[in-house]
Each structure stands twice: as C-alpha cells, then as structure tokens.
Structure 1
Amino acid sequence: MSTTTQAGTSSVKTLYEGAECFQVAGDTIASAWPDLEPFVFKWVTVSDGKLQPQDVFKLISEGLMTALVIHTEGEIHIVALTEFVQYPQAKTLRLVGFAGKNPLLTLKFMPAVEDWARANGCDELETFTTHRAKALMERMGFEDAPFVYMRKCLFNLH
C-alpha cells in the first residue's frame, strides 16, 4: 500500500504480527484505488453482476460504502467492502464483498471488522454469500440465516 493510500485513513486495530486494518472512505479512495482495484475486481468477477469496479469506486467516493483494508508493511492481504444498514431495531454492518490473497486470513480479520462495527454503533454483521463460502463463514462465527433467493423480473404484470 502506498503512503498516499494511508493518508486520511484510520487504523482500526492491530491484529497479528504487525498487521493493521485501515478504513478507506470517500475522501481517500482516489489515492487508494490503484491498490484496491485488483481485490475489488477479484470479488466482482464471482458476484452476480450487480456491481462493477467503477460502481464500487463511486459508492465509496459518495460515502455509501467503505473499504476496510488489512495489510502488513505495505502489503495488502484482504479488502472488505462494507455498508451500514439501519433496520428499525438494529444497525448492521453488511459485508458486501471481500477478497484477499488467502481466505483463511479473513478469520484473523473479523475481530477488527467487529471492533469497527461496534465503534460505529452496529449490533451485528451480515453478509450474503455462496454455498462455496459457507464453511468459511461458519468458521468466522456467522450463523446460518434464511436463504436469499433471487429471480430476475421477467414479466410485465401491468
């Protein structure tokens, strides 16, 4: 990660062996983007096509989404894209997507995400995932919740 990437970000928590988690928000995304884009591209290529890297850049720059970055000595390991969801009875941090060099490092990343969520008034974390990631999500302490089924709108009912 370049020194310009770190400018204006805030350290969330030191995790292990010198690793740190930083928030990259709207005012710092332009300088951080060259370092983050490969990670964003990695997860959008396996997503359902609702977001492209340029969409993520725009959402972060507008303050609607945040990137959390775990790195050691300038080497990025994991990038998590997050957004806040305010339900009537709870505030939730939604993990929109995450990618990294080693998915098992995500296990070490989760305490920092939880700390950041709590610091921002969240009661819980949520994410949508594929069946392939189910075991990893359970290892991170996520509980199996109702499935989300999607269907494209095919018919004009009017």
Structure 2
Amino acid sequence: MMDLLNAKGIKTTHGLELYVDLIKNIKIKELSIPTVTNPFYEVKFEIDYLLLEEHKYYDHQQNYFWIVMNENLSLITLKEPEMQSLFGVKNEEEREATKQLLGEWLIKTTAYKKAITRYLNEFEQNNTRIEETQRAKKTVQFLKKLLELKTTDIEKALIEKPVYS
C-alpha cells in the first residue's frame, strides 16, 4: 500500500506528477569519480513516479538526474542526462518546482537515504581495503556527503543542461 502522506505532487502542463517515498522508486544507476577529463563526483539517480493525466488513469514514468560535486565536495550542481531527464519537457516554473521537490522532499525521504546507504554498503564490501586508496576514501566521503545534503544545498545548485554533440 502506498503511503500518500509521504508523497509530493507537482502540477505540470502534462499532468500531475506524483512522487511517493517508496524504496523501489529511487535507485542509484551510476557513480563516477574524478578523472583527468572530468574532475567531478557524479551520481545518477533513477526516479519512478506517477503521471496523472487528464482523461487517463495514470502513467508510470521513470526519469533521471545527476547530483554532481567538485573534488573537494563543496560545490553542488544538478545535471540533466541527455535522455529521460527529470527536468526535461518542463517550462522554467516547472523546472524550479522540480528542483524544489529535490531539495525539500527527495533528499529527506527514506527511499533516497536507503538508495545511498545500500550503494555505500556495496561499495565498502567490494573495496575491503578502502583505507589504502585515496580514491576509494574520497568516494565514501562523497556518498556520505549525499546523505547530509540540506535543502539550501539543492536550492543553490545550478541545473546543467545536456550538451548535444
């Protein structure tokens, strides 16, 4: 059964997007660590939600976004993927509402915290000698920093649109 008390809705031109705090609705799909060509920590989240459209019952949606941090974990950016962006096909007002949803609701949900904790536990199990590698230690710090994000961190973040080749 869905707990609608832990749900959040956003009205868009396409219908009402309904986000529910269920563990199965939020997943980490990718994690990137800094390299010479990309000096950022990046984590790609998959978000499942319901789109309630007029004259339809509902439509299950699955979209993505990235949380990106610089190497010293002090600057946060939200990044859109090229395909299935959580911010895609939305006007500026709807994009701001989505950003507000991420800051005021998503980062505080049980599902978000469980997704990160699960990924962190798997990472630590697969990297038993973390203390020996600086990259692994910094990756653990990044994942723990994601658990500590505050609403203002997300509100201050820029939304980076994809660059098409």
TM-score by length of 1: 0.40
Q: Whose relative contact order is higher, 1 or 2, with alpha carbons under 8 Å and at least 6 apart?
A: 2
Higher helix share: 2
